Amino acid sequence: MKHGNLKAQLEIATEWAIALRYEDIPQRVLAVARLQIANILAAILAGSQSRAGVRTKASFERTLALGSCTLIPHGDRCPIFDAVYLHAVYATMPWN
């Protein structure tokens, strides 16, 4: 795939996303999306309470900077990339 083609595809996808209205999304898709959001939140919460999750958070706090995002479930504020990283780690933790 050439770079120019990738850019064109990204522009098409971006224009589609910008024009998309909530009312255009089928109810069955919204229902699945809601379940997926609940699923990932449950995984983040469970992972954050696991032994490995608690240790990860403790080591993460050493370098945690203030930012505009909230860590689930702790409520700490941090930059977006830190929040995404820690939530991804929590979501993939073993829960026991």
Helix (H) or strand (E) holding 70: strand 69-70
What mean pLDDT, rounded, does the chain reach? 90
- The encoded tokens of residue 54 equal 């608690």
> Closest by alpha carbon to 44, among 70, 62, 68?
70
Give pLDDT, residue 4. 62
Give pLDDT, residue 63. 85
Per residue in 1-57, pLDDT (tens digit) is: 556 687 789 999 999 999 999 999 999 999 999 999 999 999 999 999 999 999 999
Q: Which pTM does this prediction carry?
A: 0.74
Per residue in 58-89, pLDDT (tens digit) is: 998 888 889 999 999 999 999 999 999 999 99
